Copies of this chain bind each other. A is one copy, B any other.
Amino acid sequence: MIIRLQPDADPAAVSGRLAALGLWVDRFEGEGRQPLFVVHPWSAEASREQIEALDGVAEVLARQHGRPRLDAAPPVIDVAGIPIGAGQRPVLMAGPCSVESEAQIDAIARQLARSGVQFLRGGAFKPRTSPYAFRGHGEPALGWLSDAARAHGLRVVSEALGEATVERVAAHVDLIQIGSRNMQNFPLLRAAGATGKPILLKRGMAATIDEWLLAAEHCLDGGASGVIFCERGIRSFDPNTRNVLDLGAVALISGVHRHPVVVDPSHAAGRRDLVLPLARAALAAGAGGLLVETHPDPGRALSDGPQAVDLAALAQLAAEIDAGAPAGGWR
């Protein structure tokens, strides 16, 4: 935003009033008597009305974000009867990296349902850095996954990897996952949207928040019934964790922009011993749910075993969610 002052206002005094609102400003001088103030992006949120009400402010000029559909989206998205977003009980989405067999996924689903999990996740089509790694069992795995979920009262989320298969994924799931590597695969975003299903949109490895919000706008413009953001860590320089979990982005999107966000602590950490602390931190920051890689026997997982937690960890998280509801309900 740009702030134009009244002709007789004292710029230092106005700057103090803006700081009191949480706004950092840069001051631009021209030939006129009064400077213009440009609000820095890491300022606290304030509405045009709040700023124009300040003594000494003449006018606020704003920039179009170009996200009309996202701006109009409700803060809570219903996914097959489960509400996700501000003020709702956080949801748990769990399951293995890959769906490995019909028996495996059914056994996992049974245990997860007992642990208080609402969504079964599992990969049928897997993006793999190497062309020679296991790429998932494909369409049959989707059937096993949805059968297992239905048998145990769970909802289903799974990743759509390409335009050619997105409709088949949509036919089996309640929530279509778009992976980090595809956050700006625009034809896929539109094809996923065209199925009319809600979309779980993972953040790209180095995507800015604005790019992420605009990717959601692509989904909604394509026809998606809703978008749930999923923060999974951004790329950084320290090798001791796989990625850096950006909970500032979670607090911003969930608490300020009021869109539903879930957090994937498994890919953020890459290491099992940090999954629970980061899961708790995510909920404290305002996440509306968690997406957790879970495997009953991580040593036998076909992919990502080292970062999978066991089912007891999920039960622990579910218990903490039960116990942790604040007096006035979830924020």
Chain A interface residues (CB < 8 Å from chain B): 1-2, 4, 16-20, 22-24, 26-32, 35-36, 38, 41-45, 59-64, 66, 127-132, 161-165, 181-182, 184-188, 204-206, 208-211, 214, 217-218, 221-222, 233-242, 244-249, 251-252, 255-256, 268-274, 277-278, 280-286, 297-301, 305-307
Contact = CB atoms under 8 A, between A and B. Distances in A.
B24 A306 contact: yes
Contact of A305 (B16, B59, B63, B283): B16
A60 B137 CA distance: 36
B2 A36 contact: yes
B239 A29 contact: no
A19 B248 contact: no
A185 B280 CA distance: 32
A320 to B, nearest CB: 9
A36 B61 contact: yes
Contact of A20 (B31, B241, B299): B299
A299 B209 CA distance: 28
Contacts of A205: 204-206
Contacts of A204: 205
B239 A28 contact: no
B28 A62 contact: yes
Nearest to A310: B20
Given A221-B131, A285-B281, A26 B246 contact: no
A95 to B, nearest CB: 17
Contact of A298 (B19, B187, B206): B19
Nearest to A189: B131
A127 B190 CA distance: 12
A252 B240 contact: yes
B252 A274 contact: yes
A29 B64 contact: yes
21 contacts: A19-B298, A20-B305, A27-B63, A36-B36, A42-B269, A42-B271, A66-B130, A128-B186, A161-B186, A163-B164, A165-B187, A182-B184, A185-B185, A237-B237, A238-B249, A244-B244, A248-B268, A252-B274, A255-B274, A256-B274, A280-B284
